[in-house]
A and B are shown apart, each in its own frame.
Chain A
Amino acid sequence: MSIGLVIRLLVLALLVVFLVSPETFAFLFEPLAKNNQPVIYNQGSLLDLTLNHLLIVLIATTLATAVAVGLAILVTRPFGAEFLPLSRSLANVGQTFPPVAVLALAVPMLGFGTAPTLVALFLYGLLPIFENTLTGLTGLPPSVTEAARGMGMTGSQRLIRVELPLALPVILAGVRLSTVISLATATIGSTVAARTLGEVIIAGLLSSNTAFVLQGGLIVGALAVLIYDGLSAIERALTRRTGQGARANA
């Protein structure tokens, strides 16, 4: 077992213990809480908030993956090729919108709560996945796609048996990026009353309680690192399994 893995498992264990029984760590945060402020977040269960946070990210990223991969497949088919430049610039424009602006625009339409946050995360998650899927599907070695055509595979057979499997590690890298961005962005969702870990941070800011801010931040940070790492590991395994070691490292 490598040192890296031990550290990751340790972080995971600490996170779980903290979420289940935050009081255990009260002594750590004590110095940060001024004049009798509560040391540990007390306006709801940290575990519930974390699970809700993760659920929102999971739903948004899953939807974004489905839509972005689907779009990228469409615009790399012969009949969709003319939409390729358009879809690329659309996705780029989407990314230049700050998430707060998306939230602000979505609230009048969807009201307060989880819905506008989901929309913002979904829109925000599209671009990295779309870009990476495009890169994966268009950057395949020409001799391989040529061979697939020459063997007599139909368009969908080429997509399913050759193009997608070979592009998978690159697509997954996009999903990883998107997930991590969403994890961070979801905290902003609590400004429009979505139940995410942002609540903890905002509660801390409102009452000048650094302990709260730190607790919210640490949980989000630990989640991001663990998920990023986990997805990276899956990617590496996939890359090896698809015999593309050299290509992925290039």
Chain B
Amino acid sequence: MIDIQELTKVYGQTTVVDKVSLTVEAGDVCAIVGTSGSGKTTLLRMINRLVEPTSGKVLIDGQDTRSVPAHELRRRIGYAIQGHGLFPHRTVGQNIGTVPHLLGWDAARISARVDELLDLFQLDPAQFRDRMPNELSGGQQQRVGVARALAAEPNILLMDEPFGALDPVIRAKAQEDLLAIQKRFNTTIVLVTHDMEEAIHLGSRIAVMDGGKLLQYATPQDILANPATDFVAELIGGDRPFRLLSLARVASLVQPGEAKGAPIQASASLREAYAECLWSGRDALPVSDNGQLIGQVSRADLARAAARPS
């Protein structure tokens, strides 16, 4: 659990982060969104003390982060940044093993962990372990960057626009990988992005920042339904109904009954189901789960789910 209390950072005359308080529960994914210069990166970097706060404090599992030396704190917290920051003179394996090495793990344990992570990120260890970072594609570099951040099995992972430099297809894949890994290890993640779509997709809670202030901190549903200010509404943009639909799964709207045509997976999002209704001109779709038909979902129900919550 990360407990941020009245955190403030002042550079000269400018207050870059202004009395921000928020709590990220263990296992949550907190997505910080906001326009450029709103203080997202500064807020994130105060968590692992890459930036020392002017005032306020950060507690991790109840312990004040200032009670341990900064470098020890950072070894316990994973950190992945845009442009990955891989060490160009170290192999992929050495890069991933950086923090375990600093923590004094023995060589056998480090190399086992490196291979495990490479596997997890679908990079064949035999092929990639001894490559240099400049021999990887952008997407592979980014995965190695995240693998490195996770190497010492941190409970907390901080990410600053980790997918910013990736093309949309690789980006979507990287997001899925991250969510899968997050679920598997129940990692608490704080992720900075300026992309609301990404925040809604990844975040279990979204923190909206503007001019150093925290405008709203709520679940994606809440933010979409009740944006706290006009600025938040503007940040969400015009396609709120579709974003709302993308948050829920078909399973939540399944009704008994039959419908014609190709079935849709229960795990698909409502948005995909609605798109399929419109595209194939059907009023209802059969729903299947693990190859078994379990009922149908109707276009009318989908449309209702997209309406402004009351």
Contacts and interface: CB of A to CB of B under 8 A. Distances in A.
A246 interface: yes
B71 A144 contact: no
Interface in A228-250: 241-246
A157 B89 contact: no
B98 to A, nearest CB: 5
Which among B74, B85, B86, B98 has the greatest number of chain A C-beta atoms within 10 A? B85
A152 interface: yes
Contacts of A141: 85, 88
B48 to A, nearest CB: 7
B132 interface: yes
B96 to A, nearest CB: 11
Contacts of A143: 81-85
B50 A149 contact: yes
A213 B79 CA distance: 64
A243 B79 CA distance: 23
Interface residues of A, number: 22
Nearest to B45: A150
B138 to A, nearest CB: 13
Interface string B220-241: 0000000000000000000000
A152 B74 contact: yes
A166 interface: yes
Contacts, number: 69
Given A143-B83, A166-B89, A150 B134 contact: no
Interface of A: 141, 143-144, 146-154, 157, 162, 165-166, 241-246
Contacts of B98: 151, 153
A146 B88 contact: no
Contacts of A151: 74-75, 79, 98-99, 102, 148
A154 B71 contact: yes
Contacts of B76: 152
Given A151-B75, A152-B102, A154-B71, A165 B85 contact: no
B50 A146 contact: yes
A145 to B, nearest CB: 8
Given A143-B81, A245-B134, 13 more contacts: A141-B85, A143-B84, A147-B145, A148-B87, A149-B50, A151-B74, A152-B75, A153-B102, A166-B87, A241-B89, A243-B88, A243-B133, A246-B134
Contact of B79 (A147, A166, A244, A246): A147
A206 B134 CA distance: 58
Contacts of B72: 152
B73 interface: yes
A166 B88 contact: yes
Contacts of B81: 143, 146-147, 150
